[in-house]
A and B are shown apart, each in its own frame.
Chain A
Amino acid sequence: MQYQSQAVAKPYFIAAIGLFVGQIVFGAILGLQYVMGDFLFPEIPFNVARMVHTNLLIVWLLFGFMGAAYYMVPEETETELYSPKLALILFWVFLAAGVLTIIGYLAVPYATLAQITGNDLLPTMGREFLEQPTITKIGIVIVALGMLFNISMTVLKGRKTAIIMVLLLGLWGLAIFFLFSFYNPENLVLDKIFWWWVVHLWVEGVWELILGSILAFVLIKMTGVDREIIEKWLYVIIAMALISGIIGTGHHYFWIGTPEYWQWWGSIFSAIEPIPFFMMVIFAFNMVNKRKRDHPNKAAMLWAMGTPVMAFLGAGVWGFMHTLAPVNYYTHGTQITAAHGHMAFYGAYVMIVLAIISYAMPLLRGRAAGNSKKAQIVEMWSFWLMTVSMVFITLFLTGAGILQVWLQRINENPMGFMEVQDKIAIFYWMREVAGVIFLIGLIVYVTSFFIGGDEEEASS
């Protein structure tokens, strides 16, 4: 750690990991509810558990992104953070808002929550991923603006590297596109169109800028390759990501009442969406081959290398599999989508946050470069447990999805939804087993933070 103010990243990372654990616990509950429909009913119905699962994911990733920003900005701009105090205040505000919201989901029926938080004044609740009460949404905007003010001021007074400009652009985009969550027209079709301006333009737009800049930062630090080369490729990759991804939004405009030309526009542009991910894989491995030093933090290296590979598989391959309109006609809204969503989110965003945590945490804890060998080995075990079980979750959900599409949509005598769900229960059981292994992997991951031993020396 070169700058004192980088220390504010630490609580953000710790909170991220804590909420991650919560997310996975609820994921396991959901998986069980798929096969034991009355599990925890009516105390925690499926919709509540799912809301907790997805909202925790978003919130902990945001904690991770913010922590990454607070860690990276001082080091890149070569100046202390504008206001470390503000960063800490915002941390507590965001954590309190997040925890209170989750408690609200679990403690009272959703309709009651809507009522007591004044949803009638500005109705924004009850839409997928944007279930947060309106006041929580306002809180998110305030926290985001506070953070943006803080890091923008820091960047203004310091060195402006490409990595930091891309990160800043990504974070600003994140805040700006979130504003569309306040637009909730009475017309469902319009609602859906602009709902995607948050969801798609986040995960297949501005979040990719954040992903790219964190990956570039970690690669510079770990491989010692020339900044010029890494930043050049960063620009090329994110250019490809936005060129394909922005109009690629069209792959969500096939069947929601939008004009039919989107079937062409959406298909054509999302067909090239895997390219930036493929370039990212080539890029990351090339940089590692050209490395000028062997960084002692092998675990962080593993996460950093795993990110592009899993992002390419999850977002690129699994996305492409069902993105073309004629295929999507049959797969839209089935377990295929769930399969893609799981691996894409894990590969692209979970892993990059874990990569920066793995790189930064030892330094934040005052260690020279990396954790002890023992701790790193445990962390690498958790990498493989989580990654491999995620691959299996994805495969089982894909199997469930293919069978579902066949029985419910393509078959000459289509079966009803619930009947099909019974037929594919075996896949859900296997998914649940893989999910439990993922949870074990996560426990191993958390354990790795408590393993001492001789820490690694910084390399020469």
Chain B
Amino acid sequence: MSEKFTKSMARNIFYGGSAFFFLFFIALTVDTTAKLPERDHRENITEQVVLGKKVWEVNNCIGCHTLLGEGAYFAPELGNVYKRFGNSKEAIIGFIKSRPVDGIPGRRSMPQFNLSDEELDGIAEFLKWTSEINTANWPPNIEG
């Protein structure tokens, strides 16, 4: 009589099961990417939005803020900041521009990044585009 709980069967299940579920994950991912254009409104990704994403990245904004809930939890959520600031690009640009170089005594403060007007416009356009992604109604309210 052979052993009733064998290493080789456990191994087969590991390899077979993992491959099975990975293939399944790929199938779901394919479906997701096919459905995505309806939700991310990629037709609105202009040159400014692309520049804005780059500005977002090279200044490591994610190191303090969250964007659609991902990032650091040190500073406010920015996925809906365009709406929170009254659908105003100017308000976003004005806020970024007005950060004091030496911070605010005793309090958290965003650094002064000395962005050009073009970069400021880009980041605002990027945040506007982000606020229009269909995120299944997240965040729960305007405060993010």
The 8 Å CB contact of A255, one of B24, B112, B138, is B138
For residue B134, which residue of chain A has the nearest CB? A257
For residue A191, which residue of chain B has the nearest CB? B53
Report yes or no: A37 in contact with B140, Cβ–Cβ below 8 A.
no
Bound complex: CA A386 to CA B75 (Å)? 28
A239 within 8 A of B: yes
B91 within 8 A of A: no
Bound complex: CA A114 to CA B61 (Å)? 13
The 8 Å CB contact of A111, one of B24, B59, B72, B107, is B59
Report yes or no: A260 in contact with B74, Cβ–Cβ below 8 A.
no
Bound complex: CA A214 to CA B60 (Å)? 35
Please judge, given known A-B contacts A51-B60, A123-B54, whether A193 and B138 are in contact too, CB under 8 Å: no
Bound complex: CA A50 to CA B24 (Å)? 35
- Residues of B within 8 Å of A126, CB to CB, are 56-62
Bound complex: CA A434 to CA B92 (Å)? 37
Report yes or no: B6 in contact with A260, Cβ–Cβ below 8 A.
no
Bound complex: CA A417 to CA B110 (Å)? 14
Report yes or no: B71 in contact with A128, Cβ–Cβ below 8 A.
yes
B113 within 8 A of A: yes
Interface centre among B53, B61, B136 (most CB of A within 10 A): B136
Please judge, given known A-B contacts A125-B58, A254-B136, A256-B70, whether A190 and B106 are in contact too, CB under 8 Å: no
B69 within 8 A of A: yes
Bound complex: CA A334 to CA B77 (Å)? 10
**Residues in A265-281 with C-beta less than 8 Å from chain B:** 265
Report yes or no: B136 in contact with A255, Cβ–Cβ below 8 A.
yes
User: Interface with B: A40-48, A141-149, A297-305, which one?
Assistant: A40-48
Please judge, given known A-B contacts A42-B102, A42-B103, whether A330 and B144 are in contact too, CB under 8 Å: no
The 8 Å CB contact of A246, one of B25, B113, B142, is B25
Report yes or no: B21 in contact with A243, Cβ–Cβ below 8 A.
yes
Report yes or no: B14 in contact with A235, Cβ–Cβ below 8 A.
yes
User: Interface with B: A347-355, A370-378, A408-416, which one?
Assistant: A408-416
**Shortest beta-carbon distance from B34 to chain A in Å:** 9
Report yes or no: B102 in contact with A332, Cβ–Cβ below 8 A.
no
Q: What 1/0 flags go to A168-206 for Cβ under 8 Å of B?
A: 000000000000000010111110110000000000000
A262 within 8 A of B: yes
Report yes or no: A259 in contact with B35, Cβ–Cβ below 8 A.
yes
A432 within 8 A of B: no
B87 within 8 A of A: no
- Residues of A within 8 Å of B32, CB to CB, are 193, 253, 258-259, 262
Interface centre among B56, B58, B64 (most CB of A within 10 A): B58
Report yes or no: A258 in contact with B7, Cβ–Cβ below 8 A.
no
Bound complex: CA A415 to CA B42 (Å)? 32
**Residues in A89-126 with C-beta less than 8 Å from chain B:** 110-111, 114-115, 119, 123, 125-126
Please judge, given known A-B contacts A188-B130, A235-B10, A246-B21, whether A333 and B103 are in contact too, CB under 8 Å: no
- Residues of B within 8 Å of A231, CB to CB, are 7
Please judge, given known A-B contacts A114-B58, A162-B11, A239-B13, whether A417 and B144 are in contact too, CB under 8 Å: yes
A5 within 8 A of B: no
- Residues of B within 8 Å of A110, CB to CB, are 58-60, 63
The 8 Å CB contact of A258, one of B6, B39, B72, is B39
Report yes or no: A131 in contact with B13, Cβ–Cβ below 8 A.
no
The 8 Å CB contact of A38, one of B5, B77, B109, B142, is B109
- Residues of B within 8 Å of A335, CB to CB, are 73
- Residues of A within 8 Å of B14, CB to CB, are 235-236, 238-239, 242
**Shortest beta-carbon distance from B66 to chain A in Å:** 4
- 14 other A-B residue contacts (CB within 8 Å) besides A42-B102, A249-B25: A42-B103, A42-B111, A114-B58, A125-B57, A126-B58, A126-B60, A162-B11, A188-B40, A189-B39, A253-B32, A256-B69, A333-B66, A337-B73, A410-B140
Which residues of A line the B interface, CB within 8 A? 33-34, 36-38, 41-42, 45-48, 50-51, 110-111, 114-115, 119, 123, 125-128, 131, 162, 184, 186-190, 192-193, 228, 231-233, 235-236, 238-239, 242-243, 246-247, 249-250, 252-260, 262-263, 265, 329-330, 332-335, 337-338, 408-410, 414-418, 421
19 A-B residue pairings within 8 Å (CB atoms): A33-B108, A47-B60, A50-B64, A110-B58, A125-B57, A126-B57, A126-B59, A131-B63, A235-B13, A242-B18, A243-B21, A249-B25, A257-B68, A257-B135, A262-B28, A333-B71, A333-B73, A417-B143, A417-B144
